[in-house]
Amino acid sequence: MLNQDCQYKFSERHYAPARLEAQTSSKWRKNFYSLSAVNSGFMKIRYYEALDVKEIVERIIAELGFNHIELSGIYCFRSVGSKSKRTVARIHSLGKIWQKALNTRPSYLIEVISERYDRLSRDEKEKVLIHELLHIPQGFSGGFRPHKRHITRKKIESLHQKLLSKKKH
């Protein structure tokens, strides 16, 4: 699965393809397992289905006219136990190769980090979810839209104002 906002705690040298090829497979395996063991001891992240988030996402999709997003392909989860310092939410997708291997349709998963997301006001939560939904391309293909030109504070604020005006009517 792809992760748009992933932040690795390990050094890049363990994941850079050129260096991986240069390492012997046993040395790489040793580094990988030692990193996994370190992370599993410190990061016991738990995931729970977030129906409250799903309701907000459904309302945003309906009221902002995000017709390209298929509700049946959107899942929402809350994670607890993340040590991430700045990330409030992430969007994950089931990429093309996984869709083909599993013979399934494109899917997106919005993960909210409980430690940061749950403290936000309702307006801020809506803005975070609008931000994550803007990563989904028009084709709903399993890919991502980058921040550059597609996701800006101005665009998020504008869409949020539109959402607020729809609530009043």
DSSP one-letter string for the chain: -EETT---SS-GGGT-HHHHHHS-HHHHHHHHHHHHHHHHHH---EEEE-HHHHHHHHHHHHHHT-TTS-GGGEEEEEEE----SS--EEEEE--HHHHHHHT----EEEEEEHHHHTTS-HHHHHHHHHHHHHTS-TT-SS----STTTS-HHHHHHHHHHHHHHHH-
Q: Is a pLDDT exceeding 90 seen at residue 84?
A: no
Task: Assign 93 a pLDDT band (cuts: 50, 70, 90).
Answer: very high
Give the pLDDT mean for 78-106: 92
- Label residue 126 exposed, middle or buried (CB < 10 Å: 0-12, 13-18, 19+): buried
How far apart, in whole angstroms, are the C-alpha atoms of residue 100 and residue 81? 32
What lies within 8 Å, CB to CB, of 1 at 6+ separation is: 92, 93, 94, 95, 98, 109
Which stretch of 11-25, 60-74, 124-138 has the lowest confidence by average pLDDT? 11-25
Q: How many CB atoms neighbour CB 77 within 10 A?
A: 16
Q: How many CB atoms neighbour CB 101 within 10 A?
A: 10
Instruction: State residue 169's pLDDT score.
Output: 60
- For 46-168, CATH number? 3.30.2010.10
Q: Is a pLDDT exceeding 90 seen at residue 83?
A: no
pLDDT digit string, tens, across residues 21-53: 333 344 433 443 334 444 455 658 999 999 999
- Please say whether the beta carbons of 20 and 162 come within 8 A: no
Q: What is the pTM of this model?
A: 0.72
Domain boundaries, the chain: 9-42, 46-168
Mean pLDDT score of the chain, rounded to an integer? 78
Give the pLDDT mean for 142-160: 87
